[in-house]
Structure 1
Amino acid sequence: MLSRTQRSGSRPGAALLVFVCYLVAFAAAQYDPLKDFCRRWAHQAAVVDDRLYIDGGMVDWKPFSASSQNYTNPFFLYSDLGQTTEGMPTLNAGLSKNATIPTVNGGVLWEDSVNKRLYLYGGEFYQSPPTGFVLYSYDILYDNWISLGQPAGSAMVVPTSYGAGVSISWKGEAYHYGGWFNNASVPGWNGPPQASNRLIKYTMDTNTWSNLTGPDNVRRAEGAMVYIPAGDAGMLVYFGGSDDLYGNGTLTPEPLDRIYLFDIANTKWYSQMATGRIPENRRRFCAGATWAQDQSSYNIYIYGGAGFPPDTTGYDDIYILSIPSFQWIRGPYPADSNSTGPYPKSMMTCNVVNNAQMLVIGGTYSNDTTYMCDADVVWGEHSMDLGKQNPQDAIWALFKPNLTTYVVPTDILTAIGGASTGGAQTTAPVSGFNAPDLSVLMTRKAIVQSRSPTRDVSVPTAGKAHPGSGVVLGTGVIAGIAIGSVVAIIIILTACIICIRRRKKYYAGPRQANQPPPGWAGSNPPSASPAYSYPSPPLPVPVSGPPAELESEQGITPVYYTPARSPSSGKYEAWTTPAAAEMPLPSPTRSTRSRRASRASDREREARGVMPGQPYYSPVRTPDAVWPSFQGQTQSPNQGGVAYEADSSPLPIHPSGIGGGRPGPGTLPPGVPVQPRWDEPRR
């Protein structure tokens, strides 16, 4: 039985109007998601079968300028994992997503490979107030979205942004831990942002929710969580990110030597200390898990992330957490283990494909002074060969559609022993397990059971109607719908033209230098946790800023290296260091159409002084925003407190780099909650 929302959405007239709205919005955007791509970040991504789906987030268009940055990305795209362009999966546009489906940043896409669906959960709205939570699902077979309504079951669920999400298709379950409550994610939210300490569980086949506890009472956000098939039903592994110790958006680093594990079968949390080369504190990085063929080791690869003071620049590096030895291993990039790479990134996505490769999509370049695009030739796609199964023994490599087997690389074997197929010799932490149960669970392999689809998932034949939409209409009804639709189209086009003119007039106008930045309502923390309920009536929500490309504070300026093509190696070296080149130059044997397209692209690049295969560069401009001040390990040993600049009036705050102000003059003693500050983005 379809709900009223679903039934109304299937009416041809309504569907036509929505489709027209989408076309008008698309035309107004004046950007092509493939040809004009420059950068992408804070999006959601998921893999089902041979496609990697990319939704929402923020995007910069090329040519890079003040008017082409920080756009909400309305396009729903997919990368074809069975086909490559310039050595990376081919990106395709044109999937359906009308204006009724939220476009958010910092959310999550849960994949259901059994029923061929995606679920959109959480995230923040940009330049519009958030709406009450409704779970939307994308039907892969029929290329349409449906509303599954508000959460059902015993739990009241209020989604967060920049939390950690993972789905387990064979169980039909999805999980989300932590994240931020704020007035860009929760309707009517008043006061400073606040992180969550809850683990949310969604059961796909019954459309029900559970509100579970976290490992403790600490509120966390911006970390990473992955699934490994250890224990009886698998385990969730969480680490890194930010702690909100005072419930007011103040950021304290969560050290990466502390690993949290959730045993799904027993719904129980464990904590385990890790050893080895511990990664530097970071947030908004991405992670993916794979394992040896005999499951004697589970290896979690992480990339990049934003930093905390005094090193706010962030990271361009790879680390590997090997379980059950719980050893951190500095990955093969960069080659110098005492430094990070030249292009620190955060807010990208990591998706493991067939256990053997991991696609890193997009990300924001912290402190970038050159404002180059992110490998725009391949739409910001970067591929890790997790087992380094290539002649160059390189971690960054061309994507191989047929690579489906993972082998344990030398970097890990050196630490835990064994062979490429498994047989790890180190199977416990150096100082032992923190809990006796954990030592037993690590010896067990999850029993992966076959889950039956709850609907027909065979490939639909041409013209097959979507279930529930098979309404036969008479000729008169069809004619009435057509006439009404034409009138509606005229009204919609007129309204859109007016809106576009007003928008252009607004952006063409001068900006006041001292105008408070858009951002976050209220300055006092709520008296208690939001307790998963909405205020009534809703309070007005100001327009929020984007999760901005961030610069450093305290005069720290990172060093960026101008990429150069090595004449001897013939490699792209735009995104990695010269010693770790990523993509070989295109093959000279291509179709006539490909050669024409390449020559056109080369002419455009030569006009801008960029060699073929190198990223586009844009004129240097002033960065958008500054990093916040942080509570925690940010003071020098001889410092008695945290000093602040004077300001005549405190402004709102936001933990993820959007808008905000700073406290007044003075010094606070250590241990007192300190609220971060953000300055107005400078254009």
Structure 2
Amino acid sequence: MAIFSRVPLSRSHLFFVLFLALLSPQVAHAQLYSPLDPIFYFCSRWFSSSVVKDGSLYINGGVETFYHSRVTSDTILGINTYLIQVSMETSWDWKTNITITDESKSTSNPKTGTYPPSLIRGTMFHGPADSKEVYAFGGTTFMGNTSFLGYVAPDASTYPLWTYAYDSSDFRWGQNDIGQPWKPNHGAAAEAIDQGLGFYLNGQIDKGTDSSTKNFGNDSTLPLDGMLIIDLANATSNNISTAAISGDGPRVGGGLQYIADVGEKGILVAIGGQLSPQNVSTSTSTNGHLLSLDTVDVFDISSYVDHPETNGTWYNQTTTGEIPEPRIDFCVVAASALDNSSHHMCVIPQPIVVQADPNKRYLYGGRNTITGVPYDDIYVLSLPAFIWTKINFGASPRWGHDCHVVGNRQLLTVGGNTTNEQCDWEIKGVAILDMSTITWGSVYNAFAPEYLVPTPVTKWLGGSPSGGATVTAPAGGYNSTGLAQLMGVKRVWPTSNTSQSATPKPHSHHKKTNVGVIVGPVIGGVAALALLAGLLLWFRQRRHKKAMTPHELEAAEKSELHEEPKKMPYELPVDSHKPYEMAEQHGLAEAPRDTTTHAVELDATTISGDAKPGVPMLRTPSNENPRILKR
């Protein structure tokens, strides 16, 4: 697939493209994706999806405003129809030397004839660490400007999961039917990379979902119940009930974060969002109910993985501290203290993040859809204390952005609507926050030092920047004994000398001595010494026998035949005073424990029951009355 250069289109070139689009459907579809390069003509982008893997940031879809030309300030509202790639292997300054490329989706799948979709409000998954693919899931067609040259009518919902094989030289996109009736959008997503699982909580369908929903109003939606658990390696899924989650209904625009170190297989923490009206004819942009952030929901992953016939176990927990105002369309990441004494979720209205102890989450930006108020603040939710800390104020509110933890201690934000209908001041659509010093900048440091807990967080939790939190439980106690027990379980990770099939712990900053690397040479050396000693003994005995008389030699051989066999030195004697075994060492002989990408976040088409992957399906609109839909 060609990578399009950022060459301005002249007026005559644009007319030529329009002329080609009228010649035939095949030419038209291919050309729809090429006129406006999303990097060269970039003004602003939001509701895209992104992921970091193998030294690259991938950005897919999203609403975009393009400069009409590089000469005037006129803009065009449309959709990003390219896959954008940003190199994260080396340091850069987005003002001067960032490396960004993009790849058109103007080639169809040779097996099905389907083009890779360009959608909004979907998500991207990292996928298993050993795969050379990234995954695009869900989303909806942008219906805000159907006359845009890149507009394509909603496709069927049969293939909500697409893969992009970035190492392949052939057609890189693959489509997968995961056995669900709808392609959701605007849900909350998280991923357990170490287990190959993707999670998608609630969400909705709308006018842009597929051909069966084309009669919906522009702002009308139907909420989707349940949480999808997707086996990314096998492209299968299961929709489990979320009846136990707070709010008494499905939500949109909320956050979902994976915390690996808590519980037997990690936990999910669900934050915020909006409960939408359960009526397809009602606009959800100004109605509905925003969930308070004074309560969060916790899902025990092992409760489902160990018993997949169940819906797993949800808990809700009251939070304290500087509780953020209710909001949606924020981004959230997580970080842990070096000693894993706490974990932190950072919630950001605009792209902002702060990391703290192991059970901390960061929230940045977002908006209140009821009042229309946008946010540009950063909050950190620290676990297991469940305390909110306000970290930062800003002057550029935004929503509909993504964020990722990169380079040990930096928060990378991607896009976002700046709410003032102006182009993004971050002219490359990305920004960097140092989560330890809580300062914004334009430089990404690929070799930054390890993360340290910010001072505002340690004031609440105690301890130091390296950890040692002294507040280790909610101020008012846990809402349930089950959650208290879950939060008290520290996950046991396989060590580096276990079987190769064991999954390594993600995001670990610590190394363990690889016993195989050290002990192997030791045993080899001991065996060599034993062999040398045996040869010396054999030569000595042979020389001794040569010096015997024939009568003495015959007597000695008879004695050897009847004596007890001697123990050979195949085992080392146990003696604590002698250095027969080497102590554990840390040095160049160590094998690193981590094999997965660090700090990735974590922040579809009509279907029939017998649909098969790679086989297009046709479907007529449903005659069912609107209701809350099960996937």
TM-score computed with the length of structure 1 as normaliser:
0.58
Residue 374 (structure 1) aligns with: 425
Structure 2 equivalent of residue 140 of structure 1: 166
- 1:385: Cα distance to partner? 1.2
Q: Do residues 179 (structure 1) and 203 (structure 2) align?
A: yes
d(CA) in 1 for partners of 2:268 and 2:25? 39
User: For residues 411 and 132 of structure 1, what CA distance do their matches in structure 2 show?
Assistant: 46
Aligned-partner residue type, residue 198 of structure 2: A
Aligned match for 2:43, one of 35, 38, 45: 38
1:147 partner SS: strand
Matched residues, percent identical? 26
Q: Helix, strand or coil for the counterpart of 2:76?
A: coil
Q: Does 1:326 align with 2:386?
A: yes
TM-superposed CA distance for 1:186, in Å, is 4.0
Which of 281, 297, 309 is the matching residue for 1:260?
Answer: 297
Distance 1:395 1:94, change over 3 A: closer
Relative to structure 1, the CA distance from residue 177 to residue 186 in structure 2 (aligned partners, 3 Å threshold; closer, same or farther) is: farther
1:281-320 mapped onto 2 (5 Å cutoff): 281-304=326-349, 305-308=365-368, 311-320=371-380
Structure 1 residue 129 corresponds to structure 2 residue 154: yes
* Mapping 1:62-73, distance limit 5 Å: 62=67, 68-73=75-80
Aligned to 2:183: 159
Which residue number corresponds to residue 243 of structure 1?
Answer: 275
Equivalent residue for 1:188? 212
Q: Which residue of the other structure, out of 393, 406, 418, is the alignment partner of 1:365?
A: 418
Deviation at 1:448, TM superposition (A): 4.3
Matched, 1:421 2:466: yes
Distance 1:410 1:179, change over 3 A: same
SS at match of 1:363: coil
Of 388, 404, 413, the residue aligned with 1:351 is 404
Cα distance per residue 1:622-666 (max 9 Å; x no partner): xxxxxxxxxxxxxxxxxxxxxxxxxxxxxxxxxxxxxxxxxxxxx
Contact kept, 8 Å, 2:229 with 2:239, in 1: the verdict is yes
Return the offset for 1:177.
0.4
1:148 Cα deviation after fit: 3.9
The runs of 5 or more residues in structure 1 that have no matched partner are 1-16, 335-340, 455-521, 533-683
Q: Measure how far apart 1:416 and its partner are.
A: 0.4
Partner-residue secondary structure (3-state), 2:103: coil
Residue 246 (structure 1) shift: 3.5
Deviation digits for residues 247-269 of structure 1 (CA, Å, limit 9, x no counterpart) = 55442101111101111001211
Change in 2 beyond 3 A, CA 1:145/1:309: closer
Matches within 5 A, 1:346-495: 346-368=399-421, 371-376=422-427, 379-388=428-437, 394=439, 396=441, 398-403=443-448, 405-448=450-493
Deviation of the 1:120 alpha carbon = 1.2
Q: Which structure's CA Rg is the greater one?
A: 2
- Counterpart of 1:117 in structure 2 is 133
Q: Is the CA contact 1:236–1:264 (under 8 Å) kept in the aligned structure 2?
A: yes
Aligned pairs for 1:587-666 (under 5 A) are none
How many angstroms apart in 1 are the aligned matches of 2:500 and 2:56? Answer: 21
Match status 1:233 vs 2:265: yes
Structure-2 separation of matches of 1:374 and 1:42: 17
**What secondary structure sits across from 2:139 in the alignment?**
coil
1:648 aligns to what? none
User: Displacement of 1:118 after TM fit?
Assistant: 1.3
One-letter code aligned to 1:150: D
1:108 to partner: Cα distance: 0.4
Contact preservation (8 Å) 2:330, 2:366: yes
Name which of 206, 220, 227 aligns with 2:251: 220
Task: Indicate how the Cα distance of structure 1 residues 306 and 312 shifts in structure 2: closer, same or farther if over 3 A, else same.
Answer: farther
How far 1:409 sits from its partner (Å)? 1.1
CA distance in structure 2 between the partners assigned to 1:148 and 1:210 by the alignment? 18
Show the counterpart of 1:106.
121
- CA shift at 1:421, angstroms? 1.6
| Structure 2 contact 189–199 (Cα < 8 Å) conserved | yes
**d(CA) in 2 for partners of 1:46 and 1:346?**
18
Q: Which moved more, 1:124-133 or 1:97-106?
A: 124-133
Residues 251 and 526 (structure 1), Cα distance of their counterparts in 2 relative to 1, 3 Å cut = farther
Given residue 183 of structure 1, which amino acid in structure 2 is its aligned partner?
A: K
Which amino acid counterpart does residue 416 of structure 2 have in structure 1? G
Task: Map 1:487-506; keep pairs closer than 5 Å.
Answer: none
> Relative to structure 1, is the Cα distance of residues 444 and 245 closer, same or farther in structure 2, using a 3 angstrom cutoff?
farther
SS at structure 2 position matched to 1:82? coil
Q: Distance in 2 between matches of 1:61 and 1:433?
A: 49
Counterpart of 1:95, as a letter, is E
